[in-house]
Chain A
């Protein structure tokens, strides 16, 4: 853009949102204490790692900013070449390669045509960008800036290219820079005298003419004295505009001339994520090998939802509302379509203010290509915000018995929403969200452990070797990836990563049992369980013993039936199972119970707490352990007989709140008594997985306690009982882990 390009002042075109001053704490319910809170463009650049921390000196800022502008200028010169013009400039051009008929995509003309193609695509979207703010975004100047930035970024990142949505990720950035400029001109008007040493000296001359010499001199004298008594924020703005500072004009921080350069740097940082977990570009890519990151992130949202509000989660899954159908848009434009622009800026303030460094720098798991797209505090907040948005629609979603209507609601988020409340809610979910993101990963790690164990049976009990000898880790990575791909192709239902891991884990345990033991021995172990051979058994047994024993019995029978065949096919089984399992989750639910139907139809849950409590109690109890249903379904797919025992066990759990993994692992521990070290190892694993499960349940309870909503605030006798049972379980697992 030439400096004179007509960008209209934001204040006129966008009265509601012109400067950040309008977004008062009262309006948003949020307070911004940060140093550059009133200069979003600056604050965001600090948050996104473009500018040094806000404690740095203004000169430091100016140096960094000048460098980034130089980089952009060089990039623009290099990539946006016009072959017609540059003919004269370069004397050493290869005319064999560089002619308009050249097929070589790397030739100057090849790039030119590629650019033309790209430009058409970009323009197709830019012409439809923010029509409600068309008087700003649809001006030729603004469109030109946006087009060049997008073209450059896409040419620079050919593996992404241009994808729809990128333009809406960029537009608010430019807008924010523009808002900073209008803030500057506001301050300039008010404190004109402090700006008199303007680079071009124009304003100085003008004021010279207007005022008598005496007054000017007086002003100049008092200026230095007064400057330090000004509001620090005003001081900052003034010092940002000093054309004689470091790097001269190129270092003027709020500069209309370089708005394009600055917008590019923010866009680039946002897309690349500054080496952190959340890199927006990820949400636009579709990897050939595994599931696309945006799908992975979508299922993480559902995972968090399942922890926070299981009944809603179950409801959505039951209806077949897959998260990516709405989360794709939420994530790709970072909620840009769901909120009005001025609200969006508040949300982005929050998102960017959070750290994007990867949580627990994972060593071994780094090989997993797409793992952890939300694995940072910032990512956790994004998923927490998404979940709080879903929760905001809770009652209307629960009242809907139709997937399309649910999706329509989720994709037409109400405009009058109080963003402050939404953000607060999201913040209250942060801890759970971080745990959830870590636990998704932990699930993967656990899965890997059991994998290597079941195949090579390492004898050292304490270790959980990342890659056991003989079976290279990459082999399983590969196999896992292939499975994922198959699943992606033929998937019938939710791509819930966590669920997959759990299912996987279960099938692995089955596999362990099957590969290690003869069916005869298995059957003999059943009696051992009944008599309680290990220390933990008596406690575990209490009211559940009978069903559990029955369960074991049947599962072992099943095991004996297909123990030979299964060891190689169970991988497929699990993938098939996860395809269908989510749809069938409904089975243990009392779907046909009349009160629940009534509730679904009439109960706008917020208004009918009594009814809601009942409903919720039942829903929660029966729905507390979705993964165990997955197990049940899983078995159902593989062999109808295996599903039953686990299913039985589920029922017992509904009353007792015993974590799901205990059933399968207790049996596996009993199977291996002949190998003491392995027993020790598996007991440890058992304890670990018990603790993990207990933590999940505890966090759910904790969450419910924390809720203010009358329905959420359900503390019934059932819950006390369940809490008691939980404490018991904790003791048991502590003992186990010490053994």
Chain B
């Protein structure tokens, strides 16, 4: 088990999802965060794409497993699998296209319908670099975020503005939720740190299963 840990060492694995209308820049936010890359000529996402990156949060190593999906709303063959186990979400709109902001409400609804109530949500207004084309005032988005009790940030994947901050903030908040839960829950097994239940890649799961196997053998 130690061997697996060595090259992939982390304390928590958090699944984040990127949602929002088609063309708001989800994939570029992701590639900016995961690989520090930006591609003006990126293709539209078909199905799901994945990326990971580990960052340090409060002296713990947190690995973010980020799912990026096609923005088209009716494109939903794998909706439930997409949201399953997500503990954080970046709900992205395009500050230069108001309609993408209008749709945020619908995305939020879908998100809340499919995820745990403790999920950390951040509203992200991307393409902040297109200042002369701004169609969604910061105040409007901020007010909405407050009303819906989500975090809020304006970013530019192109200029690498706030991208790092946005992801880090979400991951930190998740970590706080997890730690708080651990404290609150005490011995309650149901309330154990989320980090453990969502440790998808962890070998702990396997060893747990293995024990069952051994007993019955």
| B117 sits at the interface (CB 8 A) | no
| A192 sits at the interface (CB 8 A) | no
0/1 interface trace, chain B 86-113, chain A, CB 8 Å (1 if under): 0000000000000000000000000000
A21-29, A52-60, A122-130, A266-274: which lies at the interface: A122-130
| A655 sits at the interface (CB 8 A) | no
Q: Which of A132, A322, A333 is the one whose CB lies under 8 Å from B81? A: A322
Q: Which of A168, A286, A319, A320 is the one whose CB lies under 8 Å from B46? A: A168
Q: Assuming the A-B contacts A328-B78, A402-B8, are A591 and B46 also in contact, with contact meaning beta carbons closer than 8 angstroms in the complex?
A: no
Does more than half of chain B's interface fall in helix, strand or loop, or is it mixed? loop
| A730 sits at the interface (CB 8 A) | no
Report the minimum CB–CB distance from A246 to chain B (whole Å).
41
Task: Please state if A325 and B48 are interface contacts (CB–CB under 8 Å).
Answer: yes
Q: Report A629-651 residues with CB < 8 Å from chain B CB.
A: 636, 643-644, 647, 651
0/1 interface trace, chain A 319-331, chain B, CB 8 Å (1 if under): 1101011101100
Task: Please state if A320 and B70 are interface contacts (CB–CB under 8 Å).
Answer: no
Q: Which residues of B contact A584 (CB under 8 A)?
A: 209, 212
Task: Please state if A591 and B206 are interface contacts (CB–CB under 8 Å).
Answer: yes
Q: Assuming the A-B contacts A591-B206, A644-B216, are A404 and B50 also in contact, with contact meaning beta carbons closer than 8 angstroms in the complex?
A: yes
Report the minimum CB–CB distance from A165 to chain B (whole Å).
5
Task: Please state if A164 and B46 are interface contacts (CB–CB under 8 Å).
Answer: yes
Q: Assuming the A-B contacts A320-B200, A404-B201, are A332 and B78 also in contact, with contact meaning beta carbons closer than 8 angstroms in the complex?
A: no
Q: Report B202-217 residues with CB < 8 Å from chain A CB.
A: 203, 205-207, 209-210, 212-213, 216-217
| A317 sits at the interface (CB 8 A) | no
Q: Report A326-383 residues with CB < 8 Å from chain B CB.
A: 326, 328-329, 332-333, 337
0/1 interface trace, chain A 144-178, chain B, CB 8 Å (1 if under): 00000000000000000101110010000000000
| B22 sits at the interface (CB 8 A) | yes
Cα–Cα distance between A128 and B41 once the two chains are bound (Å): 7
Task: Please state if A134 and B41 are interface contacts (CB–CB under 8 Å).
Answer: yes
Task: Please state if B206 and A164 are interface contacts (CB–CB under 8 Å).
Answer: no
Q: Assuming the A-B contacts A129-B43, A164-B72, A164-B75, are A491 and B81 also in contact, with contact meaning beta carbons closer than 8 angstroms in the complex?
A: yes
Task: Please state if A647 and B216 are interface contacts (CB–CB under 8 Å).
Answer: yes
Q: Assuming the A-B contacts A164-B72, A324-B77, A587-B209, are A403 and B200 also in contact, with contact meaning beta carbons closer than 8 angstroms in the complex?
A: yes
| B51 sits at the interface (CB 8 A) | yes
Q: Report A475-528 residues with CB < 8 Å from chain B CB.
A: 488-491
Cα–Cα distance between A591 and B4 once the two chains are bound (Å): 13
0/1 interface trace, chain B 22-34, chain A, CB 8 Å (1 if under): 1100000000000
Q: Which of B8, B47, B65, B210 is the one whose CB lies under 8 Å from A332? A: B47
Q: Which residues of B contact A132 (CB under 8 A)?
A: 41
| A238 sits at the interface (CB 8 A) | no
Q: Which residues of A contact B165 (CB under 8 A)?
A: none
Please tell me the number of chain B residues within 8 Å of chain A, measured between CB atoms.
40
Task: Please state if A124 and B44 are interface contacts (CB–CB under 8 Å).
Answer: yes
Q: Which residues of A contact B51 (CB under 8 A)?
A: 404, 408
Report the minimum CB–CB distance from B156 to chain A (whole Å).
19
Task: Please state if A643 and B77 are interface contacts (CB–CB under 8 Å).
Answer: no
Q: Which of A319, A489, A597 is the one whose CB lies under 8 Å from B3? A: A597
Task: Please state if B209 and A328 are interface contacts (CB–CB under 8 Å).
Answer: no
Report the minimum CB–CB distance from A254 to chain B (whole Å).
30
Task: Please state if A404 and B65 are interface contacts (CB–CB under 8 Å).
Answer: yes
Report the minimum CB–CB distance from B107 to chain A (whole Å).
16
Q: Which of A318, A328, A597 is the one whose CB lies under 8 Å from B47? A: A328
0/1 interface trace, chain B 4-29, chain A, CB 8 Å (1 if under): 10001000000000000011000000
| A595 sits at the interface (CB 8 A) | no
| B131 sits at the interface (CB 8 A) | no
Q: Assuming the A-B contacts A408-B51, A592-B207, are A124 and B216 also in contact, with contact meaning beta carbons closer than 8 angstroms in the complex?
A: no
Cα–Cα distance between A324 and B205 once the two chains are bound (Å): 23
Q: Which of A401, A491, A644 has the most CB of B within 10 A?
A: A401
Closest B residue, CB atoms, query A163: B75
Cα–Cα distance between A322 and B48 once the two chains are bound (Å): 12
Cα–Cα distance between A333 and B70 once the two chains are bound (Å): 14
Q: Assuming the A-B contacts A163-B75, A647-B216, are A401 and B201 also in contact, with contact meaning beta carbons closer than 8 angstroms in the complex?
A: yes
| B115 sits at the interface (CB 8 A) | no
| A407 sits at the interface (CB 8 A) | yes
| B197 sits at the interface (CB 8 A) | no
| A121 sits at the interface (CB 8 A) | yes
Q: Which of B47, B50, B51, B76 has the most CB of A within 10 A?
A: B47
| A233 sits at the interface (CB 8 A) | no
| A294 sits at the interface (CB 8 A) | yes
Cα–Cα distance between A466 and B154 once the two chains are bound (Å): 61
Task: Please state if B46 and A643 are interface contacts (CB–CB under 8 Å).
Answer: no
Cα–Cα distance between A134 and B42 once the two chains are bound (Å): 12
Q: Assuming the A-B contacts A164-B22, A601-B3, are A587 and B46 also in contact, with contact meaning beta carbons closer than 8 angstroms in the complex?
A: no
Interchain residue pairs with CB less than 8 A apart (30): A131-B42, A132-B41, A161-B74, A163-B74, A164-B22, A292-B77, A324-B78, A324-B81, A325-B47, A325-B78, A325-B81, A328-B46, A328-B48, A328-B78, A332-B46, A401-B4, A402-B8, A404-B51, A404-B52, A404-B200, A408-B52, A488-B80, A491-B81, A584-B209, A586-B209, A587-B212, A592-B210, A601-B3, A636-B212, A651-B217
Question: Which 6 A-B pairs rank lowest in CB-CB distance, beginning with the nearest?
Answer: A131-B41, A587-B213, A328-B47, A329-B47, A292-B77, A402-B201
Given contacts A163-B74, A583-B209, A591-B210, 18 further A-B contacts (CB under 8 A): A121-B72, A128-B41, A286-B76, A295-B77, A322-B81, A325-B48, A325-B81, A328-B46, A328-B78, A332-B47, A401-B203, A491-B80, A583-B205, A587-B212, A591-B206, A592-B210, A636-B212, A643-B216
B residues sitting closer than 8 Å to A (CB atoms) are: 3-4, 8, 22-23, 41-52, 65, 70-72, 74-78, 80-81, 200-201, 203, 205-207, 209-210, 212-213, 216-217
